[in-house]
Amino acid sequence: MRLGGALRLLCIALATTWSFAAAAGRLVTDSAGRQVEIPDRIERVIAAGPPASVLVTVLAPEKLIGWNRQPSPDELPYLPPVVRKLPEIGRLTGRGGTMNLEVVVAAKPDLIVDLGSVSDTYVSLADRVQSQTAIPYLLIDGHFPNTKAAVRLVGGILGVGSRADALAGRMDDILRDIDRVAAAIAPGDRPRVYLARGPNGLETGNRGSINTEIIERVGATNVVDSGTRGGLVTVSLEQVVAWNPDTIVTVEPAVAAHIRADPAWALIDAVRRDRIFLSPKLPYGWVDAPPSLNRWMGLQWLARLLYPGRFPGDIRDVARDFYRQFYQVDLSAPALDTLLAGQQSKN
């Protein structure tokens, strides 16, 4: 990215300011092993992409200074009031990055946070942005098994360590309940699940994909086996028929309707048994979209769908408690009705 003269002056000014802050700051090591000097006090944070936006919104919403994508009116009631009127500033990472460095510098953040992959591509981006703007940029591993560590790390950095510890403790409780139930299910009896994405349901996630992590973590079998691990793939309907999942999960109502209406899908057990589950997605998808802390609600929802009658508590109460603790919003009965419309969990 070529910096113009005006931006160069801004960067020089910001670098000078930041150098004084960094001198009194602290050195942290992010998930990519990068040592990054950050100010002692973090008040203004840019999230590089949607997963990081969720993380900051959950941990310290008052520190987030803008959205990667402006939330829709339907999403706003499910977000903390302090973030509902933030401006849209775009995104640095992922498909269709729209945030330029002029916007980054003008926003005057203390820190940039990215949550997700820590591959060489993202390390290169973080190093380049940090070098050109003098704003510290942290890469945090967003894979599901590392979520608790990410919460504690970023919570400590943002000065909300006690909140982070409480959330991580709740995550431990969730996993303990799920592992207790899943351990009693023989491997051959585990649900066989297909995640349907894309306009016709034929985009999905390989085993090991960040998009299907909670399907696998809940003890189910992801039927998609394309010979490689991780990543999104486009498959044929013939492949889905051959895999013959007993459960299909999607986040899009149009995909669920398409699968039910298309006779070509009717040979699949999940369709014949009407086990096509539509994930709630306000303000974020419970299974995916984006792969962040929102998946911890999806884990509880999916476990109740796949292992009915084995968990205490109605899904409405579970959702209400989760939103109160993680998003710091109290959902009304109508908001819960809207959130859960179309999903099939009654337990």
**pLDDT band with cut points at 50, 70 and 90 for residue 1:** very low
Q: What is the pLDDT of residue 77?
A: 97
Q: What is the pLDDT of residue 156?
A: 97
Whether 228 shows a pLDDT value over 90: the answer reads no
Q: What is the pLDDT of residue 21?
A: 41
CA–CA distance, 74 with 173 (Å, rounded to integer): 30
For the sheet containing 276-278, what is the strand order? 221-222, 192-196, 247-250, 276-278
For residue 242, give the nearest of 258, 225, 229, 257 by alpha carbon: 225
Model confidence pLDDT, tens digit, residues 139-168: 999 999 999 999 999 999 999 999 999 999
Arithmetic mean of pLDDT, 256-267:
96
Q: What is the pLDDT of residue 13?
A: 43
Does the reported pTM lie above 0.85?
yes
Arithmetic mean of pLDDT, 59-79:
97
**pLDDT band with cut points at 50, 70 and 90 for residue 65:** very high
Q: Sort 293 into a burial class: Cβ within 10 Å, 0-12 / 13-18 / 19+.
A: buried
Whether 16 shows a pLDDT value over 60: the answer reads no
Amino acid at 338: T
**CA 5 vs CA 9, 91, 180, 191: distances in Å:** 6, 23, 60, 59
Helix, strand, coil share of the chain (percent; to 5): 45, 15, 40
Q: What is the pLDDT of residue 50?
A: 95
> Residue 216, Cβ neighbours under 10 Å: how many?
16
Q: What is the pLDDT of residue 230?
A: 87
Answer for the pair 157, 42: CB distance below 8 angstroms, yes or no.
yes
Q: Strand, coil or helix: what is 144? A: helix
**pLDDT band with cut points at 50, 70 and 90 for residue 23:** very low
Mind listing the domains of the chain with CATH numbers?
5-167 (3.40.50.1980), 186-340 (3.40.50.1980)
Mean of the per-residue pLDDT values of the chain: 91
